[in-house]
Structure 1
Amino acid sequence: MNDCLFFGWNQYPKLIKNEPGNYSTIFLFKNGKAIEYLQNSNQNPEKIQIEENIQKVTVGYQNEAILTKEGNVFAKGEYINPKYPKEFINISSLIEDTNDIIIQDIVSAWNSFYLLTSNQNVYGIGSNYSGELAFDSKTLKKTEKPILMMKNVSKIFSGSSSQSVFLLNSNQELFGCGWNYYGQLGLGESRKKETNIKKLTKIQNIPKGKIIDIQFGSYHSIMLIEEENQNENPKRKLYSCGDFKYNGLGKNEDTNEFTEIKSSLFENDNNILDFSVGESHTLILTSNSKLIGFGANKYGQLGTGDTKYQKVPIQIELPKLRFNENISNYHISCGYQNSFLYYSPFLSSFSNLEEDLIKLFRRKEFCNISFKTENGEIIEAHKLILKYRLNQNENEIEKLQEIISTKSIKESNQIFEMIYSNRIINPKLYSEIKEIINSNEKIEETMKRIYLNENENEKDFIIERKEKQYKFPKLILIMRSELYRGMFLSVTEDKSNKVTDYSELSNKSFQIFEYWIYSNQIKEEIQITQEIIDELETGIDYFQLNQTNPNLFDLLIIKFNNQN
């Protein structure tokens, strides 16, 4: 399920992928839009200006690539477009073979990209200093044009901190090339310390089972293998190879072949759901709702609350999840020296981001963040939006008060947070709802009291604007069911004192929102353009509210637009 009011003040867009690189992080949303944030900078996040719907994003050292649903790849970076490194260009159009113009997958390495076409051909572009494009680096240092590396490929494996690559063919044979100084290609003792493998070489000693994923750090690689048996839930195991000195292997020895990462944390029925590898740290999510990590932790990237290196797997305390959802709905992604745990539409982050992403500073433990926008700036959430359920019983009125919460946004961009429930409110409760709204106790004080009961440490709650306090001229209640079928109750203090009932929408599919600005001194609804709707759904470029009268407390009223 996806609770609303977190990204762009509505349930859309859903965050479906977070891709952290070494200098930038991209967030991809379900609506095919993406935003990019440059780490360690004071710049606001920017919407990626690609007209086509984005299907996948991948980030390397100082380069990025985007795959669209149309099968095109747009990339930028010094090794891709040295003349204009900050501008995206269509690199799929540079492939000479016109039968290979449709791209199915993209994978980034340190300063290069790999493209998998619909014909199962793999092309490389960018740096080849370590032979990562399977060409002799003496004759080819880099290429701005995709070159064919291998045919009959089913999967590509690399990493944003890596100058190595694995290619898996349709026969489950694994080939690798690139940097191998620490034995991270798993070629064995005979080729240990051979710095650059300039030709695709078959990896011989692969653990038995199905290769699910392989990810590279800077000095090692980790492979996820699924046992081949008839069990409904086959066991998954992690194997690693490379250099132990940098603590990325999850064991106490160097290995130049893939050997199992053993730990009691993986025993019994506990299975591996997801894992991610950074420069020299790894995080793992398991089926029994455990977060496990090991490796470098200088910047707190393991989320343990300290900076202690962890040579072997340890269990890490998960943040308090916003929903009692199965952990399988969450995903983990490790950047160069930071990490993200995310669930649509919520995101948790930890690590040293130094005044970048949502001003986390030197966090060394999980903290919840939101894509709330203020003139395009991501700001930190204060856990004001809670998960609520309103049961149909005699305690409904009491529980209704629990769903009253708000969050102020500074200066002219102040906006009232919508109040919602996961269950349809019985229309018979209209009078009781109005009684609460019109009670002698001010709405702000009610919300403050209810909120502080849940969050004793939060004191800065009073709605402020120009250092003044305002009461809400209107209150909008949004009620919906878990299956996106519901009704809207718009309870306003207008002259007619009528309640607008949108219950006729209850059996419709709600996909697209329309937005209106409504003020206590504006008599007509002002429809926002589709362009602004798109911006809101992307979660950035928040439009300016009416500023002609600073005393106006503007409300955003949301109304479903039916989509057949």
Structure 2
Amino acid sequence: MNQILFFGRNKYPRLIENEPEKIKKPIQFKFENENEKQIKQIESSYFSTIFLFENGKAIEYLNDSYQNPEKIQIEENIQKVTVVSRSEAILTKEGNVFENQEKKTIQKLTQIQNIPKGKIIDIQCGYWHSIMLIENPERKLYSCGYYQYNGLGNNQTTYEFTEIKSSLFENDNIIDFSVGNLHTLILTSNPKLIGFGENYYAQLGIGNTYNQSIPIQIELPKLRFNENISNYHVLCRNEKSFLYYSPPSFSNLEEDLIKLFERKEFCDISFKTKNGEIIEAHKLILKYRLNQNQNQIEKLKEIISKKSIQRIKSNI
């Protein structure tokens, strides 16, 4: 079953029936058909939320003040989706792009100056602020922008990227983060879910609707955190928030293993790729992913049987 927690504004679109318009604490989101494939990505705007599945299909929930709630099944072979306000774009695995936009504007690109030193892992923009994740060597978050509703994680406007500091995550590895219009969520390795910013629609999931100027921990219902917290993701969009489980895609096993190797997630399962490079797979992720489907287990056995297997003792 898909693991998805939802909290915040349950309107435009209404995602969960028989629940209030403001869901103040994280609750389980369930599809009508529990046999849906593994979730891959969630994207949401003010009027639309799209759930993309590993099999390339998607479900879109639509609702605005001019129409009744609508649920659409999208059958395309989708690779990625993005939605903003009333605009959306869909990229298929064949490289085709479908878009629906009210307006198109092209602006001159300007290079951002005075970026903190390190490797930029991700950067996301909200309505009044931007947040950047930088690795040097630890992962740290930096915010920049206007302090409207305190989505910056501090109490003042910052004209340059400034580190977000909190005792809640100073000793933890930051797994994922997401920026909404005026609020931010952070997922750490503990695991902890941390939020700050606007909370008028309960999008911080802390049980009330008071804005939070500094990071606060969000109480989560019991999750089984399937063996690896790094496979969980957070999403903030407008006044809605999600925490969901999405393991690496099984569509290209060798490519996935290389990515795991680069992230230095080691274990004692390995095989040689075509170029002779030793790849060490993440056993726990593979165990969870493969146990969901017997055909996938057989696929892995077939791949490994054609490789030169070696057992490696990790030095880490």
Whether the TM-score (by the shorter chain) exceeds 0.5 is yes
Aligned letter for 1:338?
K
Deviations 1:217-271 (A, max 9, x none): 11111111011xxxxxx41101011111331110111111111111111222x01
Give the distance between the partners of 1:506 and 1:208, measured in 2 at CA. Answer: 42
**Contact 1:484/1:509, CA 8 A, preserved across alignment:** no
| Structure 1 residue 292, shift from structure 2 partner | 0.6
Q: Tell me if 1:57 matches 2:81.
A: yes
**Contact 2:51/2:58, CA 8 A, preserved across alignment:** yes
Deviations 1:266-297 (A, max 9, x none): 222x0111000110000010011000100000
Deviations 1:2-47 (A, max 9, x none): 79x977343x511110001121011101111111111456423101
**Contact 2:128/2:148, CA 8 A, preserved across alignment:** no
Give the distance between the partners of 1:325 and 1:241, measured in 2 at CA. Answer: 34
Give the distance between the partners of 1:49 and 1:507, measured in 2 at CA. Answer: 26
| Structure 1 residue 482, shift from structure 2 partner | 6.8
Change (3 A) 1:506 1:321: closer
Q: Tell me if 1:14 matches 2:38.
A: yes
2:143 corresponds, among 240, 245, 266, to: 240
| Structure 1 residue 76, shift from structure 2 partner | 0.7
1:211 corresponds, among 120, 126, 133, to: 120
Give the distance between the partners of 2:233 and 2:130, measured in 1 at CA. Answer: 20
**Contact 2:290/2:296, CA 8 A, preserved across alignment:** no
| Structure 1 residue 485, shift from structure 2 partner | 6.9
Give the distance between the partners of 1:507 and 1:59, measured in 2 at CA. Answer: 35
Deviations 1:420-478 (A, max 9, x none): xxxxxxxxxxxxxxxxxxxxxxxxxxxxxxxxxxxxxxxxxxxxxxxxxxxxxxxxxxx
Give the distance between the partners of 2:162 and 2:292, measured in 1 at CA. Answer: 47
Deviations 1:100-154 (A, max 9, x none): xxxxxxxxxxxxxxxxxxxxxxxxxx1x3xxxx22xxxxxxxxxxxxxxxxxxxx
1:342 is paired with a residue whose SS is strand
Q: Tell me if 1:334 matches 2:236.
A: yes
**Contact 2:45/2:237, CA 8 A, preserved across alignment:** yes
- Contiguous gaps of at least 5 residues in structure 2: 4-29, 248-288, 301-316
Change (3 A) 1:7 1:311: same
Q: Tell me if 1:202 matches 2:202.
A: no
| Structure 1 residue 483, shift from structure 2 partner | 2.6
The 5 A counterparts of 1:223-302 are 223-227=132-136, 234-268=137-171, 270-302=172-204
2:109 is paired with a residue whose SS is strand
**Contact 1:219/1:246, CA 8 A, preserved across alignment:** no
**Contact 1:485/1:509, CA 8 A, preserved across alignment:** no
Change (3 A) 1:323 1:7: farther
Match of 1:397 in 2: none
Q: Tell me if 1:36 matches 2:55.
A: no
2:148 is paired with a residue whose SS is coil
Aligned letter for 1:33?
K
The normalised TM-score by structure 2 is 0.67
- Contiguous gaps of at least 5 residues in structure 1: 80-125, 135-198, 228-233, 346-480, 487-504, 511-564
Change (3 A) 1:337 1:507: closer
**Contact 1:23/1:61, CA 8 A, preserved across alignment:** yes
Deviations 1:391-420 (A, max 9, x none): xxxxxxxxxxxxxxxxxxxxxxxxxxxxxx
Aligned letter for 1:312?
I
Change (3 A) 1:71 1:255: same
Aligned letter for 1:318?
L
Identity of counterpart residues, as a percentage?
64
2:230 is paired with a residue whose SS is helix
Match of 1:362 in 2: none
| Structure 1 residue 327, shift from structure 2 partner | 2.4
Aligned letter for 1:343?
Y
Give the distance between the partners of 1:484 and 1:338, measured in 2 at CA. Answer: 29
Aligned letter for 1:237?
K
| Structure 1 residue 211, shift from structure 2 partner | 0.7
| Structure 1 residue 313, shift from structure 2 partner | 0.8
Aligned letter for 1:293?
G
Give the distance between the partners of 1:208 and 1:337, measured in 2 at CA. Answer: 32
Match of 2:13 in 1: none
Structure number with the bigger relative contact order (C-alpha 8 A, sep ≥ 6) is 2
Give the distance between the partners of 2:297 and 2:223, measured in 1 at CA. Answer: 30
| Structure 1 residue 343, shift from structure 2 partner | 1.6
Give the distance between the partners of 2:297 and 2:227, measured in 1 at CA. Answer: 25
Aligned letter for 2:114?
N
Q: How many residues align?
A: 231
Match of 1:483 in 2: 291
Q: Tell me if 1:222 matches 2:131.
A: yes
1:200 is paired with a residue whose SS is coil
The normalised TM-score by structure 1 is 0.38
Match of 1:311 in 2: 213
Change (3 A) 1:299 1:224: same
RMSD: 2.8
| Structure 1 residue 508, shift from structure 2 partner | 4.6
1:251 is paired with a residue whose SS is coil
